[in-house]
């Protein structure tokens, strides 16, 4: 590998966290197929920098939605339209 092709130098950063949180991280990176804890944490931080508009509330809403899907507490759009007497023609007439 030439000098121009060499990977950027990495710096070690130390952070403090509870053992429980670290266990959650370890389970998560392994479950998602990352090769290491560090690789996973870098990916999470990179995503946070690239998408700063994606916040904790968004994540909670997504997780709640996933839980509802798993627990069968969701309804199709057709079922909701039928329950509330909505159809495409009534929506089109409002425009």
Question: Using one digit for the tens of pLDDT, what is the confidence trace for 19-51?
Answer: 999 999 998 898 889 999 999 999 999 988 888
- Report residue 19 as tokens: 């053992």
Whether 7 is covered by a domain: the verdict is: no
- Structurally, the chain folds into a number of domains equal to 1
Domain encompassing residue 66: 17-94
pLDDT of residue 35: 94
CB contact at 8 A, 49 and 55: no
Residue 86: partners with Cβ closer than 8 Å, 6 or more residues away: 80
Whether 30 is covered by a domain: the verdict is: yes
Whether 66 is covered by a domain: the verdict is: yes
Whether 2 is covered by a domain: the verdict is: no
Whether 36 is covered by a domain: the verdict is: yes
Calculate the CA dihedral of residues 29, 33, 37, 42 and round it to 10 degrees.
-90
Whether 55 is covered by a domain: the verdict is: yes
pLDDT of residue 80: 83
Mean pLDDT, rounded, of the chain: 83
């Amino acid at each position: 590998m030439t000098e121009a092709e060499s990977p950027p130098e990495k710096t070690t950063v130390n952070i403090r966290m509870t053992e429980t949180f670290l266990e959650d991280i370890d389970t998560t990176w392994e479950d998602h197929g990352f090769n290491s804890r560090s690789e996973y944490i870098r990916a999470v931080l990179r995503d946070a920098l690239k998408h700063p508009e994606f916040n904790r509330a968004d994540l909670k809403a997504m997780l709640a939605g996933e839980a509802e899907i798993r627990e069968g507490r969701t309804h199709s759009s057709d079922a909701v339209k039928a329950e509330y007497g909505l159809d495409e023609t009534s929506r089109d007439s409002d425009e």
